[in-house]
């Protein structure tokens, strides 16, 4: 099922993952190990090299499909090239780290056709086109990780997210009932940006931007 994921996080924090300072890199490694388990733990010495040959089919330490390896972790933290066959685990890892660092997040099941239909309905309701969902992907994340097939990434600044919430709210009543529920949920998420920006300033962190990833299985 296709999914739309939104996060409130500074774009520089996302980009900083790919050139992480040692202390931050250690925190991200630890979080990844806790999330993905043994598949993300380096296997030292000869035992680690022989381990895959000695393990049974049901060994919990065996890498799971889509789970990042220790090499994936190091490649992302250093901003290194990720081979095509490791892109899916690498994006799974990046999405986890963004979730780990973000002030808030939301996720919806939404087909590509549904996304386009919602944008069209918003335009009919006089919402400016630059506040549509598709516009979230006009500026990609600016990272070294190549996109997977069927994946789109992008971001807009926090002030754009706040304006987007206001614009959508003005046209909400004109949407079909089937679209109002989704649009209302997105408005509710976007409405948090004022509070999150205040929290970030108080904590001495960058104000959040709106980061989006869409994975299509259509």
Report the pLDDT value the prediction gives residue 57, as an integer from 0 to 100.
44
| Higher-scoring residue by pLDDT: 64, 207 | 207
Look at residue 143 and tell me whether its pLDDT is greater than 50: yes
Q: Domain count for the chain, please give it.
A: 1
Nearest-10 crossing angle of helices 22-36, 70-78 = 150
Residues 20-34 have a mean pLDDT of 96
Model pTM?
0.88
- pLDDT tens per residue, range 42-66: 544 433 443 443 344 444 444 566 8
Query: In this predicted structure, which of 62-66, 158-162, 202-206 has the lowest mean pLDDT?
Result: 62-66
Percent of the chain clearing pLDDT 70 (strictly above): 87
| Higher-scoring residue by pLDDT: 45, 176 | 176
DSSP string, 19-45: G--HHHHHHHHHHHHHHHGGGGS---H
Report the pLDDT value the prediction gives residue 46, as an integer from 0 to 100.
39
| Domain ranges, residue 207 | 3-215
> Under a CB-based contact definition with an 8 Å cutoff, are residues 7 and 196 in contact?
no
DSSP conformational letter for 175? S
Residue carrying structure tokens 């990042």: 68
Report the pLDDT value the prediction gives residue 146, as an integer from 0 to 100.
96
| Higher-scoring residue by pLDDT: 154, 48 | 154
Which residues, including other chains, have CB under 8 Å from residue 144's CB and lie 6 or more apart? Answer: 18, 79, 80, 81
Residues 145-168 have a mean pLDDT of 97
Percent of the chain clearing pLDDT 90 (strictly above): 83
Own/partner long-range contacts of 32-36 (Cβ < 8 Å, ≥24 apart):
32/68, 32/73, 32/93, 32/96, 32/97, 35/96, 36/64, 36/67, 36/68, 36/93, 36/96
Look at residue 26 and tell me whether its pLDDT is greater than 70: yes
């Amino acid at each position: 099922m296709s999914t739309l994921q939104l996060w409130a996080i500074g774009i520089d924090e996302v980009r900083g993952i790919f050139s992480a300072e040692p202390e931050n890199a250690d925190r991200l490694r630890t979080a990844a190990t806790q999330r993905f388990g043994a598949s993300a733990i380096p296997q030292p010495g000869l035992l680690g090299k022989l381990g895959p040959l000695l393990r049974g089919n049901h060994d919990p330490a065996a890498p799971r499909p889509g789970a990042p390896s220790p090499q994936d972790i190091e490649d992302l933290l250093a901003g290194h090239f990720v081979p095509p066959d490791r892109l899916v685990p690498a994006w799974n890892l990046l999405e986890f780290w963004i979730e780990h660092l973000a002030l808030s997040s939301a996720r919806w099941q939404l087909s590509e056709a549904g996304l386009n239909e919602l944008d069209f309905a918003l335009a009919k309701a006089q919402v400016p086109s630059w506040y549509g969902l598709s516009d979230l992907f006009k500026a990609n994340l600016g990272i070294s990780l190549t996109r997977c097939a069927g994946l789109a990434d992008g971001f807009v600044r926090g002030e754009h997210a706040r304006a987007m919430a206001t614009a959508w709210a003005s046209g909400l009543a004109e949407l079909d009932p089937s679209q109002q529920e989704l649009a209302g949920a997105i408005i509710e998420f976007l409405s948090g940006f004022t509070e999150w920006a205040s929290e970030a300033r108080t904590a001495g962190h960058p104000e959040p931007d709106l980061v989006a990833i869409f994975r299509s299985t259509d």
